[in-house]
Structures are given as structure tokens and as C-alpha cells.
């Protein structure tokens, strides 16, 4: 299963864990599975079926441009961080 | 100087510094900039700006201005369409259109001195300026906020009443703190308890400006067909198109942004200020072309400077020279609306160090100053100043060698940044080793003249670099020359560094390339020239387009040579099959029977870009009577991946150092008690000039970026991160006093030295 680094603001939904293991073949599937296990997380990550404009998903070492279609491997690690664009939060 | 870590002799074009394609036009004055644009029927625009840093607008009476002879139109925020107050993506940026609209033209309140309230279009510039004076505005002046502490104080006046703050995931109304976020790993508290030495300091820094030479400008024509034609000084034509489209509610396809040269941006020309106003004025003037050009004081007061603020930094270490824990609070001024560089700063702050216990809390805080924007490695210089200063103090406290400490704790491949993301191959250790073996590091400071003292500072810095979307088109002409069109605004000579990558693939001299930056109707989407992304991302688009062109030409040759295209070899610009061979430039004129002109296009949308690190040494002399500082020697070491055009890399490194030394030693928004900027001209806003600077030595370490076929890394930004601390630490060594407030100006030096 992939390792998800839980953003600080979502740890309260995830039993205060900072890392959880979640399965999913794509980022979208992984977020769905995260929500099933830890309800309340998805609303902080998605809006109208896409990653929120202020959220960037990092899969392994790269910030994905494929959004929810990004493929996830069993040994992937995923971070949700603030999107950095034009130097702003 | 280039210190190569991997053999790059395989390249024929990469690594050279040919004459740049835009050079002649720029040195002869033939290049066209935004303010040069002349369109038949052109009229002039100007804007009315707020004299108050914080006030409610009670009424705006434009009738006297509208009735003036020669005035064609007056616009206020009421002329903008109503848009939703929410964050949206423009394809490369996240924006809040309602707030962006309000930032370029206030609708109910002014949030900073210089905030635009109304615009006028008139027959000439003087008439427009006179008409502006006829607009009558009634204000209710409100208490203003000039710093982060005041903004967070209980009962502080609220700047943006509609703001719902996001404080660690909780919605908080009635606040000036737009966002609080955190990255936390390990057990920071316990690690501090287990440390031999813990140092905690608080640093402050002033808002400062990028200081580009060319002021903002915009010319717009709202055509009778409903299409808008725009010229603007910008780092990204597509960004102008997207923002103007969003603010005016016009589809992007109805807006064409024409490329003009740009006289510097450094991040400050990624946002629009005048463009939508020029378009609205044109529309209300019956489609006449309208031009607006800012004066310098408006650039200072009402564009996007780098945020000031406060950084609390706490570091623990053991006697064996290992960092045990690190904790920081980064509080940045976003300006009049949310959105500072604090997220980027939080990524950069601990990036140079291999930490297992770390806690970063970021605060995005509104104050009554202009809305901040990007400035060269946004957020990194401020946090580098803080962490490098504390690292220096830790080394002093534990009697450890400052360079060896940094080497022993340096990030490397596999190290996690403060936000948890793992590094791929990076070159920080190589930079620090290059410092260790440099002539500068191994040379004594020398004796200071009487009445002066000398010191040496060392500091590191990080910037993550950017990827994103870019497009490049190639056309092989009959004469064997190549027309290259690419979408990136050319700020630092990138037409050439991009062409060089296609030239390397095609085996054609780069002098035979004719690169251009077309308008937004004539090239695919390309992101802003910023984030150190252009030579990397648009260069990769050029590389891919060149590879496609080679494949296309193999297909054409397969007809001529009656061979399968995959049997045709291509090397050093020459195609060959059995006993046949032909150079690509000789083939160019023989393509008509095979299908006509050969062209190719490639677009990329790249994930992360490969990281950049630097380590700088600053030798500085302080006059102990006046506090005047003179930088006497400076060496900047930087991992540049592969130096595509070494002279550009050197120039970028040197330019960033100069800006960093200005930030460190002199530059600041000097805000009066009335909340206004007192030094809004280059006479009073003290930027360094060539007379202030010694020759800055650049040592380019080349650790190729694994994400790019030529190993290209972005170069232009990380260079601004280390100088602030390097200079402040040199002053500390010279005077024995540590400085925690920027700029470290003569008055502060003397006050502390004599205290």
C-alpha cells in the first residue's frame, strides 16, 4: 500500500497519525479510500471533483500535474502540501 | 568558473556562450518594450490612487472628470463584472478573482496607500492626469496596520471583512491571518530536551521591492468584434490573458496578448495591475487604444513587493555537530490581500539540513501595504537569513567549524525537506565541498584599514525550481536555418538557451536559429517566466520538438532513400543509411517532393524541477565610526545542473547576489507612522549600484538534474537566498554583534556596536 503523509490540518481525522497506509491505483482512488477509512479528509482535499486550487499533491518527489489521474504504486509516497504558484500561498 | 562533476564534453552546443539572439536589438535600442507601443488613434489612461493606507470609500463622484474636454472614459470598480470570491485555477496559478479585481481597483475599501480607485482615458497624458484630479472621493479613514504583530493583536482592525481565515484547518472569521499551516515530523520537544545546545531567536525583515528598471505598462484595444488586443510588460503573456479574462469575464480566446520585451521582473511582473483597466477604458472610449504607464512611486506603492515579517527560529544541536531539532514560526506580510510567499518559505526553510525532528508553522497575514508578490526564490531569502544566522550561533556556541557543520548536516539524495518531500539527486554537498576548496575560503580576510573591521560570513540557500507548461514550435527552412517559436517571455536571454537545446539535438549551429516569442494566438500555452523554470521546461519542449523533427525528417528521407525510417541513423546533424548520408541543413532544401516544409511542435507539463542549492562566502568591511559597509569580496557557489549557457548562469548568480546584498544592507519600505512609504523613489530607496559592488565570483558546480536529458536545473533564483545571512554574519564577525533585523543598515550597526 502507498504511504500517505497526512497534512497537519487533517491529522485530527486520522487518529492523530502523521503517516497512514492507503491503497489505490490512482490518486483519485487513493483519496476515496482515505475518506472511507478516515471520514472528513476528502472535503479538505477535493472541490468539484478535482484537487482544491490551493492543494498540491506530491507523489514521490514530484508535484503531480495529472491530478486525480496520477498513477499510484504500492511503494509510492504521497504528500498533500500548499500549492505554490507565483510565490503565493 | 565551472567546476564540472560529470563529463559534459559530449555536448557541441550546450556549455558554450554564443552571441545572444536578442543582443543587437537590445544594445542598439531597437527592441520594443511596452511603453514604446504606438497604435493608430492611441489615447492615454491614468489612475486615481488612494492617499490613505486604510479607508472605507463612502462615495466616488466622477462627473467633473467625465465632463472635461478630451476625456473619453472614466471607470471604477462598478465597471467590472461581478465575480465569485473563491480560489480558482488559471491553468498555472491559483487566484481569487474577486480579490484580484479589488486589488487593481478598490470597490468598498482601500487597503493600502496607492490603491487604485478610478481610471481615466483622455486625448493625452496631461489631460488624463488633470481629469484624475477632478474625481472626488469621500473616505472614512480607518486605523491602519503596518506590521504582523499589530495585525494579530486582539481588537486589531480587520482589513478584509469577508475573509474567513484557515487556521490549521479551522475556519476563523474576523481575522487578519488568512492562513496558518504546519509541517511537523518527529518528536521536536523531546529532541530539544536531549540537545546539548538550543538557540532561539526572532528575526524581522522589511517589505522590499524587486526594483526592476521598467515600470509596469499596458496598452489595450477593445475591438468592435469584442476581442481584446493587449501589450504589456509581463513575465507571462498567458498569465496576463488568464487574469484579464477572469477579471473581465471575457473568454480567454477573445484576448490576444502581444509579446514585447521586458525590462526586468524578478517575480513582480507575474500579476496584472493595469491591463484590465486599460481594456475597460478602451471599451468605454469606443474601442480607442488606451495606454497606461506607471510612474516609479506607483510601482513602489501599488505593485507586488516581497513580504516583510517576522521569523522565530529555534535550533538544537549536540556537541558532536549534529542538528537534533528545528522549529520555526514564519509570519509573512501578505499585504492588503491574502497570499504571501509563506508556503514557499516553509518549503525552503530547513531544506539545506538533514533533519528528523522539525516543526514549521506558517502564517499569511494581512497588513495595510501593497499586496505582496513573488520575488526571486519567493520566501527563501527571509527564512535563509533566520536559519543561517542561528546555525552560525550554534557553531559558535559549540565551538564547531561553520563549514564542516554544514557539510555534516547537509541534505542529500533521500533527505526529506521540512514538508516531508524526499530529495532526488541534489548538489548541496558538492557546493559545500567547492566552498571548502575555493581560493576565497582558503584566503585570509586581510587586515582592515584603521577605523574599520572585517568579517566573513557563510550561508547556504535553497529553491525548489519550477516545472509546468511550455510550448515550442520548430520550422526547418529551405536555407537550412531554423525558426523557433516559444512561449516564454525572454528576460535573461532564454531565446538562446532554449534554442541551444534544440540545436544540440539537431546538430545545427545555434547561430542558424531564429527564435521568436509570438503572441498568445500563435503559440501553445506557456507558463510564466518565473520559478527558475524557463530554460528547464521550455528548453525541454524545444528538445522534444527537435526530437520530433528528426523523426519527421527520417520519414521524409525514407521516401528518398527507399529505406525504413528506423533504419536511418542520425548523429551530429547527419542522416545516414548504408552508403548514403546528408546533413540536416543540406536536406532542408530538398524536402518539397517529400511533403513540403518540415515542422514540429511539442508541449510539456512538467512535474517538479530538480531543486537548486547555493553556498555563499561574503567578506565585508565595516566603518566603525559611521557603520558604512563595503563588500570587499564575494563568492557564490551554486549547483547549476548543467550550465547550458555559462555566462548566463554567472550573470544570474551575480545579479541575485547584488539584489541580496541590497536586501541585507540597505533596502526597505520605510513606512511612516501614517502608514505610507516615505522612500518611494530610487533616490531614497537605496539599491546597490555597480559602484557599490566588488566583482562577484561565481563557482558553478554541475550536478546534472536527473529530470532533464541535458541535466538542466533552474539557476536564476536560489542565488538570492544566501546573501542576506552571509552579509549579516560577516558584519557579526567584524563587529562582534549579531543582527536580527533587516536591513543591517549603518544606523543599526553603529547603535548595536556602541551599545
Q: For the segment B291-300, what is each residue's pLDDT rounded down to a tens digit?
A: 999 999 999 9
Q: What is the mean pLDDT of residues B426-436?
A: 98
Q: Cell 555537530 identifies what position? A: B321
Please judge whether A85 and B94 are an interchain contact, meaning their C-beta atoms are less than 8 angstroms apart: yes
Can you give the pLDDT at residue B5? 54
B279 plus B234 within the same structural domain? yes
B733 and B658, same domain (yes or no): yes
**3-class SS at B276?**
helix
Domain presence at residue A47: yes
| CATH number of the domain to which B490 belongs | 3.30.365.10
Nearest to B343 among A63, A79, A84 (CB): A84
Residues B573 and B486 in one domain: yes
What's the rounded mean pLDDT across residues B327-351?
97
- Interchain CB distance below 8 Å, B87 and A12: no
In a domain, B394, yes or no: no
pLDDT at residue B6 tops 60: no
Is the domain of B602 the same as that of B744?
Answer: no
Residue A36 resides in a domain:
yes
Interface pTM (ipTM) of the complex?
0.91
* CB count in 10 Å sphere of residue A76: 17
Residue A27 belongs to some domain of the structure: yes
**For residue B210, which of B341, B384, B322, B79 has the smallest C-alpha distance?**
B341
Is B199 part of any domain? Answer: no
B606, B640, B662: which is the final residue of a domain?
B606
Phi, psi dihedrals of residue B167, rounded to the nearest 5°? -105, 95
Q: Residue A87 is nearest to which of B87, B183, B373, comparing CB atoms?
A: B373
- Residue B399 forms part of a structural domain: no
Instruction: Answer whether residue A66 is part of any domain.
Output: yes
Task: Tell me which residue range forms the domain holding A68.
Answer: 2-82
Percent of chain B with pLDDT over 70: 98
Residue B609 has pLDDT above 90, yes or no: no
Give residue-wise pLDDT tens across range B35-86: 999 999 999 999 999 999 999 999 999 999 999 999 999 999 999 999 988 7
**Contact list, A7 vs chain B (CB under 8 Å):** 181
The domain total for chain A is: 1
Boundary of a domain, candidates B573, B606, B639: B606
- Judging contacts by C-beta atoms under 8 Å, the chain B residues touching residue A84 are 343-344, 347, 464
- Residue B575 domain-assigned (yes or no): yes
Domain closes at, from B242, B267, B290:
B290
**Rounded average pLDDT over B112-132:** 98
Distance from CA of A11 to the nearest CA of B (A): 10
Burial class (CB in 10 A: 0-12, 13-18, 19+), B448: middle
A vs B, Cβ pairs < 8 A, gives: 108
Q: Return the residue in A43, A54, A86 with the most chain B beta carbons within 10 A, the one to mutate for interface testing.
A: A86
Residue A89 lies in a domain: no
Interface test with A, best of B86, B91, B94, B345 (most A CBs within 10 A): B94
Are B502 and B550 part of one and the same domain? yes
pLDDT string in tens for chain A (89-residue length): 999 999 999 999 999 999 999 999 999 999 999 999 999 999 999 998 999 988 889 999 888 888 999 999 999 999 998 877 543 33
| B450 and B472 together in one domain | no
B486 with B431, same domain?
no
Write down the residue that cell numbers 520555526 correspond to: B328
Whether residue A58 and residue B267 make contact (CB cut-off 8 A), yes or no, is no
pLDDT in tens, B178-213: 999 999 999 999 999 999 999 999 999 999 999 999
| Residue B432 phi, psi dihedral angles, 5° rounding | -65, -35
The residue in chain A having the minimum alpha-carbon distance to the alpha carbon of residue B187 is: A18
DSSP A13-62: GTTT-SEEEE--SBHHHHHHHHHHHSTTSHHHHEETTEE-TTEEEEETTE
Which grid cell sits at B623? 566603518
Let me know whether B600 and B615 are in one domain.
no
Cβ-contact B574, B582 below 8 angstroms? yes
Instruction: Give the integer Cα–Cα distance in Å for B477 and B456.
Output: 55
Q: In whole numbers, what is the pLDDT of chain B averaged over residues?
A: 96
Q: Is residue B309 part of a domain?
A: no
The angle subtended at Cα B728 by Cα B725 and Cα B730, nearest 5°, is 105
Residue B620 placed within a domain = yes
Please report whether residue B452 resides in a domain: yes
Strand segments, DSSP code E, in B624-691 are: 629-639
* Residue B643 pLDDT: 96
Q: Which three cell numbers stand for residue B501?
A: 537545446
List, for residues B574-603, the tens digit of each pLDDT value. 999 999 999 999 999 999 999 999 999 999
Mean pLDDT of B498-518: 98
- What is the four-CA torsion angle of B480, B481, B484, B489, rounded to 10 degrees? 170
3-state secondary structure B398-411: CCCCHHHHHHHCEC
Residues ≥6 apart with Cβ < 8 Å to B253: none
Antiparallel, parallel or unpaired: β B228-232 and B255-258: parallel
For residues B117 and B257, membership in a common domain is answered with: yes
Looking at residue B544, its pLDDT comes to 98
Say yes or no for a CB contact (<8 Å) between A8 and B464. no
d(CA B676, CA B693): 30
- What confidence tier does B10 reach under pLDDT thresholds 50, 70, 90? confident
B146-149 contact pairs (CB < 8 A, 24+): B146/B53, B146/B367, B146/B368, B146/B369, B146/B671, B146/B675, B147/B308, B147/B333, B147/B367, B148/B309, B148/B310, B148/B331, B148/B332, B148/B333, B148/B363, B148/B365, B148/B367, B149/B310
Contacts of A51 in chain B (CB under 8 A): none
- What's the number of domains chain B is made of? 3
| A:36-75 residues touching chain B, CB 8 A cutoff | 44, 52-54, 58, 60-65
- The pLDDT assigned to A88 comes to 36
The answer on B458 and B471 residing in a single domain is no
Q: Which residues of B touch A79 (CB under 8 A)?
A: 419-421
Please, which pLDDT band fits residue B8 given cuts at 50, 70 and 90?
low
Predicted pLDDT of residue A86: 47
Residues contacting B191, CB < 8 A, separation 6+: B316, B324, B325, B356, B357
Q: How far is B88 from chain A (nearest CA, A)?
A: 6
A81 touches chain B (CB under 8 A): yes
Which of B85, B88, B91, B169 to probe the A interface (max A CBs under 10 A)? Answer: B169
Domain that holds residue B2: 1-6+427-465+610-755
The pLDDT of residue B253 is 96
pLDDT above 80 for B267: yes
Does B528 sit within 8 Å of A86, measured CB to CB? yes
| Shared domain check, B708 and B660 | yes
User: Quick one: B566 and B655 in the same domain?
Assistant: no
CATH no. for residue A42? 3.10.20.30
The answer to whether residue B86 sits within a structural domain is yes
d(CA B277, CA A31): 42
Amino acid at each position: 500500500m502507498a504511504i500517505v503523509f497526512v497534512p497537519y490540518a487533517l491529522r485530527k481525522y486520522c487518529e492523530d497519525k502523521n503517516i497512514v497506509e492507503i491503497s489505490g491505483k490512482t490518486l483519485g482512488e487513493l483519496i476515496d479510500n482515505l475518506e472511507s477509512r478516515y471520514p472528513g479528509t476528502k472535503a479538505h482535499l477535493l472541490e468539484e471533483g478535482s484537487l482544491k486550487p490551493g492543494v498540491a499533491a506530491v507523489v514521490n518527489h514530484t508535484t503531480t500535474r495529472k491530478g486525480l489521474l496520477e498513477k499510484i504504486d504500492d511503494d509510492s509516497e504521497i504528500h498533500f502540501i500548499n500549492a505554490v504558484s507565483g510565490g503565493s500561498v | 568558473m565551472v567546476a564540472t562533476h560529470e563529463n559534459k564534453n559530449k555536448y557541441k552546443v550546450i556549455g558554450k556562450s554564443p552571441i545572444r539572439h536578442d543582443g543587437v536589438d537590445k544594445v542598439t535600442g531597437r527592441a520594443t518594450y511596452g511603453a514604446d507601443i504606438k497604435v493608430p488613434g492611441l489615447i492615454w489612461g491614468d489612475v486615481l490612487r488612494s492617499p490613505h493606507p486604510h479607508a472605507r470609500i463612502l462615495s466616488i463622484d466622477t462627473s467633473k472628470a467625465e465632463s472635461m474636454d478630451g476625456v473619453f472614459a472614466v471607470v471604477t470598480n462598478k465597471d467590472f463584472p461581478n465575480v465569485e470570491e473563491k480560489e480558482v485555477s488559471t491553468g498555472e496559478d491559483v487566484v481569487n478573482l474577486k480579490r484580484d479585481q479589488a486589488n487593481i481597483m478598490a470597490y468598498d475599501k482601500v487597503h493600502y496607500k496607492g490603491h487604485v480607485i478610478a481610471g481615466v482615458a483622455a486625448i493625452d497624458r496631461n489631460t488624463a492626469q488633470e481629469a484624475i484630479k477632478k474625481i472626488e472621493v469621500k473616505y472614512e479613514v480607518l486605523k491602519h496596520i503596518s506590521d504582523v504583530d499589530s495585525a494579530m493583536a486582539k481588537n486589531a482592525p480587520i482589513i478584509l471583512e469577508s475573509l474567513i481565515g484557515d487556521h490549521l484547518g479551522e475556519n476563523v472569521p474576523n481575522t487578519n491571518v488568512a492562513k496558518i499551516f504546519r509541517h511537523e515530523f518527529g518528536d521536536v520537544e523531546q529532541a530539544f530536551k536531549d540537545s546539548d545546545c538550543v538557540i532561539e531567536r526572532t528575526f524581522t525583515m522589511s517589505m522590499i521591492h524587486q526594483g526592476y528598471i521598467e515600470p509596469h505598462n499596458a496598452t489595450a484595444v477593445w475591438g468592435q468584434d469584442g476581442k481584446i488586443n493587449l501589450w504589456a510588460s509581463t513575465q507571462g503573456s498567458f498569465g496576463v490573458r488568464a487574469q484579464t479574462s477572469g477579471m473581465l469575464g471575457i473568454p480567454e480566446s477573445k484576448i490576444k496578448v502581444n509579446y514585447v520585451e521586458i525590462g526586468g521582473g524578478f517575480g513582480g511582473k507575474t500579476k496584472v495591475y493595469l491591463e484590465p483597466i486599460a481594456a475597460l477604458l478602451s471599451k468605454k472610449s469606443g474601442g480607442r487604444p488606451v495606454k497606461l504607464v506607471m510612474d516609479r512611486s506607483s510601482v513602489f506603492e501599488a505593485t507586488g513587493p516581497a513580504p516583510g515579517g517576522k521569523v522565530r527560529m529555534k535550533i538544537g544541536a549536540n556537541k558532536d555537530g549534529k542538528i537534533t531539532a528545528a522549529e520555526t514560526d514564519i509570519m509573512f506580510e501578505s499585504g492588503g490581500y491574502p497570499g504571501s510567499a509563506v508556503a514557499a518559505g516553509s518549503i525552503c526553510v530547513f531544506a539545506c539540513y538533514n533533519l528528523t525532528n522539525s516543526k514549521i508553522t506558517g502564517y499569511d497575514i494581512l497588513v495595510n501595504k501593497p499586496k505582496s508578490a513573488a520575488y526571486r526564490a519567493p520566501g527563501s531569502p527571509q527564512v535563509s537569513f533566520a536559519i543561517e544566522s542561528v546555525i552560525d550561533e550554534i557553531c559558535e556556541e559549540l565551538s564547531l567549524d561553520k563549514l564542516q557543520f554544514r557539510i555534516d548536516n547537509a541534505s542529500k539524495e533521500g533527505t526529506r525537506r521540512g514538508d516531508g518531500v524526499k530529495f532526488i539527486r541534489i548538489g548541496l554537498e558538492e557546493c559545500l565541498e567547492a566552498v571548502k576548496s575555493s581560493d576565497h575560503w582558503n584566503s585570509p580576510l586581510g587586515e582592515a584599514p584603521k577605523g574599520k573591521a572585517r568579517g566573513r560570513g557563510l550561508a547556504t540557500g535553497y529553491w525548489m525550481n519550477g516545472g509546468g507548461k511550455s510550448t515550442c514550435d520548430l520550422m526547418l527552412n529551405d536555407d537550412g536555418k531554423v525558426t523557433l517559436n516559444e512561449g516564454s517571455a525572454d528576460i535573461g536571454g532564454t531565446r538562446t538557451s532554449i534554442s541551444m537545446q534544440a540545436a544540440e539535438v539537431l546538430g545545427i549551429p545555434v547561430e542558424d536559429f531564429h527564435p521568436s516569442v509570438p503572441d498568445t494566438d500563435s503559440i501553445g500555452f506557456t507558463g510564466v517566466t518565473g520559478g527558475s523554470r524557463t530554460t528547464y521546461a521550455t528548453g525541454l519542449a524545444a528538445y522534444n520538438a527537435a526530437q520530433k523533427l528528426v523523426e519527421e525528417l527520417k520519414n521524409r528521407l525514407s521516401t528518398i532513400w527507399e529505406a525504413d525510417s528506423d533504419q536511418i541513423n542520425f548523429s551530429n546533424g547527419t542522416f545516414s543509411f548504408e552508403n548514403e548520408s546528408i546533413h540536416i541543413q543540406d536536406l532542408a532544401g530538398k524536402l518539397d517532393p517529400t511533403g513540403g516544409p518540415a515542422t514540429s511542435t511539442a508541449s510539456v507539463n512538467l512535474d517538479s524541477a530538480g531543486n537548486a542549492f547555493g553556498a555563499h562566502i561574503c567578506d565585508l568591511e565595516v566603518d566603525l565610526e559611521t557603520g558604512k559597509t563595503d563588500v570587499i569580496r564575494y563568492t557564490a557557489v551554486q549547483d547549476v545542473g548543467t550550465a547550458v549557457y555559462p555566462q548566463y548562469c554567472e550573470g544570474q548568480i551575480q545579479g541575485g547576489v547584488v539584489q541580496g546584498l541590497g536586501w541585507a544592507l540597505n533596502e526597505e519600505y520605510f513606512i511612516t507612522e501614517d502608514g505610507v512609504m516615505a522612500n518611494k523613489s530610487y533616490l531614497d530607496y537605496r539599491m546597490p549600484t555597480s559602484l557599490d559592488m566588488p566583482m562577484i565570483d561565481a563557482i558553478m558546480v554541475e550536478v546534472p538534474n536527473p529530470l532533464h536529458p541535458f541535466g538542466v536545473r533552474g539557476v536564476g533564483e536560489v542565488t538570492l537566498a544566501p546573501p542576506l545571512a552571509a552579509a549579516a554574519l560577516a558584519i557579526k564577525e567584524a563587529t562582534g554583534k549579531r543582527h536580527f533585523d533587516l536591513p543591517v543598515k549603518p544606523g543599526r550597526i553603529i547603535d548595536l556596536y556602541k551599545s
